[in-house]
Chain A
Amino acid sequence: MDLVTNLAHGFGVALSLQNLGLCFVGCMVGTLIGVLPGVGPVATIAMLLPITFGLPPVGALIMLAGIYYGAQYGGSTTAILVNIPGEATSVVTTLDGHQMAKQGRAGIALGVAAIGSFFAGCVATVFIAALAQPLTKLAQLFGPAEYFSLMVMGLVFSTVLARGSIFKAILMVLLGLLLATVGTDLETGQERMTLGIQSLSDGIDFAPLAMGIFGFSEIVKNLENPEARDVVRNKIGRLLPGWEDIKQSIMPVLRGTFIGGLLGILPGSGAVLGPFASYAIEKKVAKDPSRFGKGAIEGVAGPESANNAGAQTSFIPLLTLGIPPNAVMALMVGAMTIHGIIPGPQVMTKNPDLFWGMIASMWIGNLMLVIINLPMVGMWVKLLKVPYRMMFPAIGIFCCIGIYSINNASEDVLFTAFFGFVGYVLLKFGFEPAPMLLGFVLGKLMEEKLRQALILSRGSFTTFIERPVSLGLLILAVVILLLALLPSFSKQREEVFTE
C-alpha cells in the first residue's frame, strides 16, 4: 500500500499552515485570472514567478499549480456568464453554458461546472498518484532516442490540435525549434546567433517570449477587435443543481473526466483537447442531439470535467519524464529550476516532499475552489464590468514588473516588447503561436537528446526505428498526422474548432 502511505505523506506536507495558505492564494489568483478574458495562466505564472522566489520550493510550486487549475475554474465562470471563454479550455462551455444562463439557469450551470470539475479533480489526483510510480520506472528505461521520439510525437500532437492549417502549425513548430537554438551550444560552448547580445548567451528566456507572444500581442489584438460583452443580467439563481440535473450530469461527468484525463497526459495537448472531445461525444450519445447549443446541461458537465481532469493530468509528463507538455508546464520547469530542482524521474525519489505534497495539494485546492468560488460568483461578475480600457494597462504593468523582477534586467522587458510585436505579426499572418511555443520549449532538450542518440548510434538515424519503444512512438505520430490529413477527419476537425 505504497500509494496510501505516499499520499498520506503528501497530505502531511500540503496541510501545513503555510502550504494551505499558498494553495489558497494560488487558487484565488488563478480564478481571478481565469475570469478575466485575455490573461491566460501562462502570463499569470510568468507574472507571479518572482513572487515565489522567497518561498520554499514546495510552497512555490503548490501556489503555481493552484493558479493553473484555478484558472480552469474561473474560465468557465466567464464562459457561462459573459459568453466569452476566459480560457482556451472553456471555449466549449460557452455553447451551452451561456444558453443556460440566458434561460435563468446560470447558477445551476455554474454549480454543475464546479461539481463536475471537483469530481474530475479528485479522480485526476488519484490517477496521477497511481500512475506516477510505474511511469517513473518506465522513464528510467528511456534512452535519448526514446526521449527524442516522444518529443517528436508531442510536437505532432500540438500541430494537429492547433487551430487552423496543420501545415502552418508545422512551420510554427520549426520556428520555435529555430528560436531554441539561439544561445550557447551545449557541447562546444560556442555562442550561436546571439548577435553579440550578452543576455542571449543563455538562450532566449522563456518568460519574455511567452509573455510577449501570449500576453501583449493578445492585448493588441483585443484592442483591434473590441468584444461585445454580454453579461447576463438575469439573476444567477440558485447554485445547487436539483436531483434531475444531477442525474443528467453523472454520466457526462464520468465520461468527461475519463477523456480529459487521458488526453491531458499526451504531450502537446494539455487541457485544451479534452473539452472538445467530451462535447463531441456527449452530442453523439445524447438521445436528442438537437438540444445541444440550446442549454443542454450535459454540454456543460462533460467538457468542464474534462478540462479540469486534463489540467491536472498534464502534470504527469512533467513530473515523471521531465518533459513539459504545454506552455504552463514549461514555466513550471522554469520555477523548479530556479529552486534547484531538475524535473524528471528523479524528483519522486529525491524530493518526495515536493512530489507528493504537490499532488495532495491538488485535491485540497479543488476542494477550496468549490467552497470559495460558488459563493463568490457575484464578486467575479462585478469584476467583469471593469472596462477593458482600464484593465489592459493594469495587466501590462503587472507583466512588466513581473518580467523585470525575474532577473532584475530591463533588457528582458525590451525583449518582451519585441516578442509582443512578433506575436502580433504572426497573428496577422494567421499563424497560431501555441505550436511555436511548444517547439521552443522542447527545442533545447530535443537537440540534446538527438545529439546523444546519434553519438550512441555512431551517426546512424536507424537508431530511432530500431529501438521498439522509439519506433512505436514515431509510428503513433505518423498515424495521427495522416489521420488529421484525411479529408473526412480534417473536415470534422474544422467543425469542432468552428463550433
Chain B
Amino acid sequence: MTDSSTTGSGPAGSPNKTYNVSQDLCGGLFLIAVAAFFYWKAFPLPLGSLRAMGPGMLPVTIAVLLAVGGIILVLLGLRDGTARQETWHLRGPFFVLGGVIVFALLIRTAGLAIAGPASMIFASMGSDEFYWKESIIFSICMTIGCIFLFKTALQLPIPIFTFF
C-alpha cells in the first residue's frame, strides 16, 4: 500500500469503495487519539530521571512521539491526491467479533455445548452466504468434535455443560 495508489496488494486487499477523505488523515487522527489516551493514563506516573527511569518515562515519551507522528501523517494526508479512505462495513466485524464475545459470555455460564453452536451460528451470519440449516448442523457437529478433541482426548478443563 503506497501513499499514491488505492489499488494493488495492500493490506486492505482488492480495491474497495472509498469515502472522499484522505486515508492518511483518518489514520493520523486515530493515532493521535490513541496517543492522547495513553498520555492521559501515563501522566500521573512518576517520570524519574534518565539515570533511574521511573515507570512513566517510556510510556509518556512514546505517546508523545506517536502523537507527533500522527500529526505528520495528518499533514501528509492533506496533500492532494493521497489515497482515499476505504468504506467501513459493519456486518463482518459485528458478527465475526460478536461471535467471539458470545463465546466469552457463554463459556463459563453455559458451557461449551451451548457456547460453541451459539458463537458459530452468530459468526456465520457475517457471511453473505448464510443458510440456517447448514449452519446449525455444521456448528453442532463441530462442537461435538471439539468436545471430543479438547475434553476427551486432551483433557483440558473446559466446562461442557454447566446446568447439571
Contacts and interface: CB of A to CB of B under 8 A. Distances in A.
Contacts of A168: 27, 73
Interface string B36-49: 00100110011001
A192 B42 contact: yes
Contacts of A293: none
A236 interface: no
Contacts of A455: 51-52
Interface in B46-62: 46, 49-56, 58-59, 62
Interface stretch (A15-23, A148-156, A215-223): A215-223
Given A174-B66, A225-B16, A216 B97 contact: yes
Contacts of B24: 430
Contacts of B108: 410
Contacts of B157: 405, 408
Contacts of B100: 216, 396, 399-400, 413-414, 416-417, 420
A243 interface: no
Interface string A381-417: 0000001111011101111110011001011011011
A226 B26 CA distance: 25
Nearest to A490: B2
Given A224-B89, A427-B12, A459 B62 contact: no
B1 A165 contact: yes
A54 interface: yes
Contacts of A245: none
Nearest to A178: B62
Interface string B5-49: 000111111101000000110110011001100100110011001
Interface of A: 50-51, 53-54, 163-165, 167-168, 170-171, 174-175, 177-178, 181, 185, 187-188, 190, 192-193, 195, 216, 219-221, 223-226, 387-390, 392-394, 396-401, 404-405, 408, 410-411, 413-414, 416-417, 420-421, 424-425, 427-433, 447, 450-451, 454-455, 458-461, 494, 497-498
10 contacts: A188-B55, A220-B92, A220-B96, A221-B92, A223-B127, A224-B13, A400-B100, A421-B97, A430-B1, A454-B53
